Structure 1
Amino acid sequence: MDPLAPLLDLAEVAPAFASAREAVDAAHKHRALRRHGGQVAAEASLRAAVASAALEGNTYDLEEVRGGTVTDPVVQGALRVAESLPGLVDLWPRAPRQVLAKLHVLAARGVVHDHELGRLIGGAERIDALAGLVAGNETTPPMLLAAIVHAELITLRPFAGPAGVVARAAARLTLTARGFDPRGLVGVEAGHLAREPEYVGSAGAYATGTPDGVRSWLRHYAAAITAGAEEIRVIGDGVLAAV
């Protein structure tokens, strides 16, 4: 039995998820991915990192980050995290706590004291429960599992410093590891940033634990996925135009 299955019965959640799935499937068929998939993936990763840092309050121009002139430690951490994700996909469903610690080391280096890197500052029981939900879970629909992983980590903030970067990376790993977005192209972070007030508000609503609060978050997550799929089209069009 999937313990998260009842969440799909909340009003308007299943249709929102289905629509987001369709948007992602369509984006994965973009012509640019046939011959220039590596370029699209690299650009998507860069934009995701910049957006994730911005959601922590560290906002910089994309071109400045691309040019290597931004030394902000949170931005640099987000870039390190984005670069590390392909190598953590296989480990995530087998050892989620180990991966979370690794993500925090990458994200928070230069932001928090060294002795805090990779160490929980609270919420150990909920992290254990979340790890149990992730490990070996092939039942929960990937988008739903990613949404819950993200929400639990963003509301709990179990690590010091840029814990949100860790939360968003863990959600992305979930989508990739479960085959929803196997090439890691969907810029969900950009979707969250484009709807930042809703992102913050729905996360707060989720933290209340009420059905309406959880529904609010899940609907936002579907909207962010849809926006992330649109980002693939934008990047793909740009790559083709430059060829």
Structure 2
Amino acid sequence: MTADVFEPLATLEGVGSAARAARDAVDVLLRDRGLRKVGSDMTTEALLRGAHASAALAGSQETLEQVRRGATDPRAAGAVRMTGELMSLAPQSNKTPVQVWTRLHQLAAAELGGEDQLGHLRTSREPLPDDIPGLPEAPGADEMWERLHGLARALSGPTSAPGIVVAAIVHAELAVLRPFPTANGLVARAAERALLVARGIDPVSVTVPELGHFELAGSYAQGLRDYAAGGLTGVRDWLLRSCEVVALGAERSPLNISAQQGK
């Protein structure tokens, strides 16, 4: 049986209560798990806003309206492409996560590299990727493969940890490991969102966690650096930040925007 590697992290100081508060923020949005009726237009809008925010974190200069009209920046275009399959990929995140991540990379990086690089997990014969500013050097391919497949095994096993914690760890691991030649940040953030859907936190995907990461961009790279340092304090701080991101993502949902506009 695969060990539950997520549960001990969920018991770090403050994490459990922060995860419950973040879940409560989503539940209020979805009317206390009654799963407020949500049209596909709201899911589409939330995914679009998330794609724009994730691309902006990756360095895109395009505005939300430009992305809405049809992104030309390759990072924004890739982020939008991922939204087209995210809801169908999400259920597989718990069963075949590596295949989900490689598919996300195929979509995200279609304009960022050669066709032979799409969905390609890097090897020791290739240079280390450096596509997320502010992070320490990516680990070598051997360590990356070991950790990536260990993460996949953990995801396919049972855990008592909140879905928010699981999604946050996957985001951080993919960002720190940078398993692909390009677009690792886009993939990591999309993988987090997919798990929030798959683990029942936001099954209709109307929150915008990427916008939470963007609004807290000043602590994004530092949070990942602290996580990468390997200490429990860094992991705890990343998890606390991720809980704040989820709560912010609920606040920035288009459902709330529509309500505020009286629609």
> Which residue, 58, 61, 71 being the options, matches 2:63?
61
- The answer to whether the Cα contact below 8 Å between 1:49 and 1:75 also exists between their aligned partners in 2 is yes
> Which residue, 228, 232, 244 being the options, matches 1:207?
228
Unaligned runs of 5+ in 1: none
- The answer to whether the Cα contact below 8 Å between 2:18 and 2:243 also exists between their aligned partners in 1 is yes
- The answer to whether the Cα contact below 8 Å between 2:163 and 2:201 also exists between their aligned partners in 1 is yes
Aligned to 2:186: 165
- Structure 1 distance, partners of 2:183, 2:237, is 24
Deviation at 1:170, TM superposition (A): 1.0
Q: Point out the structure with the larger helix share.
A: 1
Which residue identity does 2:255 align to in structure 1? G
Aligned to 2:93: 92
- The answer to whether the Cα contact below 8 Å between 2:95 and 2:156 also exists between their aligned partners in 1 is yes
- Structure 2 distance, partners of 1:3, 1:140, is 9
Which residue identity does 2:229 align to in structure 1? T
Q: Following superposition of structure 1 onto structure 2, how do residues 32-47 of structure 1 map, counting pairs within 5 Å?
A: 34=36, 37-47=39-49
- Structure 1 distance, partners of 2:257, 2:7, is 39
- The answer to whether the Cα contact below 8 Å between 1:112 and 1:161 also exists between their aligned partners in 2 is yes
- Structure 1 distance, partners of 2:188, 2:59, is 15
- 1:91 is paired with a residue whose SS is helix
Deviations 1:70-101 (A, max 9, x none): 31111111001111111112222221111111
- The answer to whether the Cα contact below 8 Å between 1:93 and 1:137 also exists between their aligned partners in 2 is no
- The answer to whether the Cα contact below 8 Å between 1:36 and 1:239 also exists between their aligned partners in 2 is no
- The answer to whether the Cα contact below 8 Å between 1:205 and 1:213 also exists between their aligned partners in 2 is yes
Deviations 1:185-233 (A, max 9, x none): 221100000000112111110000101111110111001001001012x
Change (3 A) 1:34 1:213: closer
Deviation at 1:34, TM superposition (A): 4.9
Q: Following superposition of structure 1 onto structure 2, how do residues 1-243 of structure 1 map, counting pairs within 5 Å?
A: 2-29=4-31, 34=36, 37-68=39-70, 70-121=71-122, 122=141, 123-137=144-158, 139-232=160-253, 235-240=254-259, 241=261, 243=263
State how many pairs are aligned.
238
Unaligned runs of 5+ in 2: 123-140
- Structure 2 distance, partners of 1:137, 1:53, is 32
- 2:94 is paired with a residue whose SS is coil
- Structure 2 distance, partners of 1:219, 1:138, is 19
- The answer to whether the Cα contact below 8 Å between 2:212 and 2:248 also exists between their aligned partners in 1 is yes
- The answer to whether the Cα contact below 8 Å between 1:46 and 1:79 also exists between their aligned partners in 2 is yes
- Structure 2 distance, partners of 1:78, 1:93, is 21
- The answer to whether the Cα contact below 8 Å between 1:40 and 1:239 also exists between their aligned partners in 2 is no
